[in-house]
Amino acid sequence: MLKRLESSWLAFRNTINNIYDHHENALRKIKEFQELRKESEMIGMNIGSDEGDEDIFLKLEGIELGKKNPIKLTEIERAGRLDDFKDAIRGDKEKLLIIKNNVSDFEADFKKNQNKDIKLKELLNIIDEKQSRENKKIVIFTAYADTARYLFDVISSSGYQSGLVFGDSAYKYSLEQKTEIQTLLMHFAPYTKLFLEKQWTEFHADKIKENYSLWKDYIQVNHDHIHQILEQPIDILITTDVLSEGQNLQDADMVINYDVHWNPVRVIQRFGRVDRIGSPNDTIECINFWPAKSINDYINLKKRVETRMAVMQFIGSEVIKDFTDDFAQMAENPLEQRQNDGLLKQMEGKIEDLDGEHSLGFDDFSFDIYKQQLYDTIQSKSKEMLDLPNGIFSGFEVKSKGDIPEGIIVLLGMKPRKDHTYASYFLVYLKDEDGLPYSDNMKVVLEIINQYKNEDRIVPAQVDNGDSPLLQKWQNHIEKWIESQHTAYTADEDGNIQSVAGKADLDLLNAIKGGSKSAINQIKESGTASDRYRKGNFDVITWLTVSKS
């Protein structure tokens, strides 16, 4: 919510209104549930029995909250917490109403011109100054469609020739003039989209800038539909991150981050839309709107993004070296050791300081939180961990009504090509029932393990006793998963079983089609997936049993 407030008051208003409506909807559903419960008690129905009104039972079981991870109100009731839950929703709704009313008061004063949006005023000052230059082209990025629409409405109403892109929608000059995204980009970046990318054979590439003027004269005489586009320019393009990748917009020489994204990679991608080979501009400007101190004290955005970029610089990734004054001082230090010391200083502290509960899900995009946990464990127990043999195992129990199945989580190491380290690691969760992967996405499996990391370690008795049939079954599951990486089986319409390329082979093929040199080198060094994914090439490093109580 604070990140949206930092973006624009309108994005914050819409978020508050949506959350408030969700709370009202929750209270309506709770009221409906409790009225149905009273009705069921009046007719003597007992939930869980075959007696009573089945229709009411189905209605009660069907009332749930949430879309991504829905929960039934019957489950909250069985836990004896429905009244507490309702009181908490009411309490939150009262707090939200205070905020909602304050934002409404601000909006009313803003429309009467009695209140100022200082951030917007600064943006308009920048735009006004830019429009006095020869190159008037600006790309304005924001993370939120609400903010993008707000800026477009104000900027276009101020008389500037502007365009808007968010999702799969595009608008030219006003929200009444909808158009196609690629058409809008032609209006904004004709030099790039219509001249460079179309590769006009009549105009030589050795004098691109001079030829552009000649090309425009040629277009005026010979291509009226293109000339009409040139006669309706867009100088200011307002967009969400939908345009942060895969677009050439080098007509512009200024990028404005109206709100700075948590992820510096996204910021670099935004800047890369105009900082490209073939740009007619001698210099490129990037302007960042950072949060006001009162908000940044809570979300610590500047420090987080600088730290992320320091990590990228330290491992040799592309960065914007003059992104901020603080970062530029570290990144441009000519003495490598002092530079690295500065970057490491920027990276001090635990990763949880960057990727915690309050970072709006930014930890979903990296493994840093798990790396930090591993680092902390190694620091305190390095000798014990180094002495552990391969094959060590443990286990945990989940609730009987939990949604993850019984099975085995196994860490596999693919044997090396040249040295004594594993070439690759695989963390796989295989279902006990059929051996199929519940997940072989390492991030998903780590999240499951992390969820149960503080639970008691329990393994089934038959595993503890070395039950051969069960262990053999799990071994077969692992071998089946390894085989599936290079061979999959499908049935045709006649029921005949055919073998087709497995997951690893398909991934490798797609990489080669995309021109990946590393994929080609991989085949040269270690062969196809069929060569690499054989059970003899794998070690079981460690494993966990997942059982139900």
Distances (CA, A) of 445 to 12, 427, 449: 34, 7, 6
What CATH code would you report for 119-289?
Answer: 3.40.50.300
Mean residue pLDDT across the chain: 78
Domain spans of the chain, in order of start? 2-111, 119-289, 296-348, 381-548
| Residues facing 411 on adjacent strands | 427, 542
Q: Work out the angle at residue 139's Cα, subtended by the Cα atoms of residues 314 and 279, and round it to the nearest 5 degrees.
A: 75
For residues 237 and 267, the answer to whether their CB atoms sit within 8 Å is: no
Q: What integer pLDDT is reported at residue 395 of this predicted model?
A: 92
Q: Is the pLDDT of residue 35 over 90?
A: no
Q: What integer pLDDT is reported at residue 254 of this predicted model?
A: 92
Q: Name the band, by pLDDT with cuts 50, 70 and 90, for residue 176.
A: confident
CA-to-CA distance for 452 and 163, rounded, in angstroms?
49
For residues 186 and 229, the answer to whether their CB atoms sit within 8 Å is: yes
For residues 446 and 458, the answer to whether their CB atoms sit within 8 Å is: no
**For 142-272, where are the E strands, in sequence order?**
162-166, 169-172, 178-179, 236-239, 254-257
pLDDT tens-digit readout, 491-549: 555 555 455 555 665 665 555 555 555 555 655 555 556 667 788 888 999 999 998 87
pLDDT tens-digit readout, 243-262: 887 788 888 999 999 988 76
- Greater confidence, 37 or 97? 97
